[in-house]
């Protein structure tokens, strides 16, 4: 049974260590080195001489240092586990080094109770302090999120006053982009950024003249150049709101293409944020499947067929594959017509 208990302690220590970050691991390594050094000194120094007895008393107290370090690193659990370890080592020292010594003192065994008490109390204080810090950080994060959401809501409201269709389109893009992100296994923060970026990717259109924004038919080169300014306008508006750098980056890249033919900077595949590529695919699909002043809505199959001709060149292949999974269509190889009409139907 003692062997089984020791094995469980070692296993718990291993699990605890593997779960720690680099800073906590450094603390635990420091505690381990101290424990080894103190133990070696305990067993190395004679117990027969009164002149060095004070050193053993000092070393017994020194065992509190690794206990304190562990408690700071991993709160009560760390403090108690290390207290158990150093207590076991100190007990072994008492039973072995002092077994035939006339200087043995029963009071020395009191340290076996002091170690876990110190580990428990220190760990509890550290835990209380960490909980206060976590509560404060959570409050700050909620405040930042609230400020961010309020800022984005304000921008969307400003756009909706002028163009309700753009805001409705953005909501549909956001829902689709979120679903694609989940299929791709994005973490919660990335999906949140993708969703918010999708909501505001077209807010820059509030600065585009009506004659261009609501133009029927194909835009000429001058009009298209003016329309493309909506990306940088959106980025400028977003950066006025704190904590929007990641969202603004996705918006800045949502018209970029893997082959470098996109805008505003002509980025290529390895320069484009994967989440921005998802936003582009969701934006194109949504635009193709809804009525616009310059085209009628396509069916799902028609939209995927048109987008398939751009797969890998103007649209990211990974995002396209995820889109097909989301809408329940499996990609089928086959010859495609060269003329798709996607250039006029896709979002401007």
pTM > 0.75: no
Here the tokens at position 162 are 């002028």
Nearest to 293 by CA among 221, 214, 223, 347: 214
- Report the run of H or E that residue 301 belongs to, with start and end: helix 300-308
Long-range contacts of 6-12 (CB under 8 A, 24+ apart): 9/81, 9/84, 9/85, 12/81
* Contact by Cβ (8 Å): 283, 347: yes
Which residues does 154 contact at the CB level (< 8 Å), separation at least 6? none
The Cα–Cα gap between 322 and 330 comes to: 10
**Helix (H/G/I), strand (E/B), else coil: 268:** strand
The Cα–Cα gap between 155 and 241 comes to: 10
The Cα–Cα gap between 294 and 144 comes to: 40
Cα-to-chain-centroid distance, residue 83: 34
Checking phi first, is residue 105 left (phi over 0); if not, alpha (psi -120 to 50) or beta? Answer: beta
pLDDT by residue, tens only, the chain of 348 residues: 444 555 665 666 566 556 556 666 677 777 778 888 888 887 777 666 667 777 877 888 888 888 988 888 888 888 898 899 888 888 888 787 766 655 556 667 788 889 999 999 999 999 999 899 888 888 777 777 777 778 888 888 877 777 788 888 999 999 999 999 999 999 999 999 999 999 999 888 888 887 877 777 778 888 888 888 989 998 998 888 888 899 999 999 999 999 999 999 999 989 999 999 999 999 999 999 987 766 778 999 999 999 999 999 999 999 999 999 998 865 544 434 444 445 555 566
């Amino acid at each position: 049974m003692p062997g089984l208990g020791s094995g469980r302690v070692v296993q718990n220590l291993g699990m605890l260590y593997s779960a720690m970050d680099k800073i906590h691991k450094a603390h635990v390594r420091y505690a381990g080195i101290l424990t080894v050094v103190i133990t070696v000194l305990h067993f190395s120094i004679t117990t027969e001489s009164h002149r060095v007895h004070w050193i053993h008393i000092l070393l017994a107290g020194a065992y509190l240092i690794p206990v304190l370090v562990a408690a700071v690193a991993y709160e009560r659990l760390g403090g108690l586990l290390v207290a158990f370890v150093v207590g076991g080592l100190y007990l072994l020292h008492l039973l072995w080094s002092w077994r035939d010594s006339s200087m043995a003192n029963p009071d020395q065994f009191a340290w076996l109770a002091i170690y876990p008490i110190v580990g428990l109390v220190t760990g509890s204080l550290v835990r209380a302090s960490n909980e206060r810090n976590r509560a404060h950080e959570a409050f700050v994060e909620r405040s930042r999120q609230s400020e961010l959401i309020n800022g984005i809501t304000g921008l969307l409201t400003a756009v909706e006053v002028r163009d309700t269709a753009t805001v409705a389109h953005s909501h549909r893009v956001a829902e689709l982009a979120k679903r694609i992100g989940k299929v791709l296994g994005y973490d919660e923060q990335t999906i949140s950024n993708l969703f918010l970026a999708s909501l505001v990717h077209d807010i820059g259109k509030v600065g585009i003249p009506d004659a261009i924004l609501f133009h029927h038919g194909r835009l000429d080169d001058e009009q298209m150049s003016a329309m493309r300014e909506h990306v940088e306008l959106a980025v400028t508006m977003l950066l006025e709101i704190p904590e929007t750098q990641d969202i603004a980056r996705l918006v800045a890249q949502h018209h970029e293409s893997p082959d470098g033919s996109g805008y505003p900077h002509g980025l290529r595949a390895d320069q484009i944020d994967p989440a921005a590529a998802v936003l582009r695919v969701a934006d194109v699909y949504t635009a193709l499947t809804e009525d616009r002043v310059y085209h009628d809505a396509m069916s799902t199959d028609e939209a995927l067929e048109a987008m398939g001709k751009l797969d890998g060149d103007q649209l990211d292949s990974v995002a396209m594959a995820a889109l097909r999974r989301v809408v329940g269509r499996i990609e089928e190889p086959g010859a495609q017509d060269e003329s798709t009409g996607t250039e006029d139907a896709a979002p401007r």
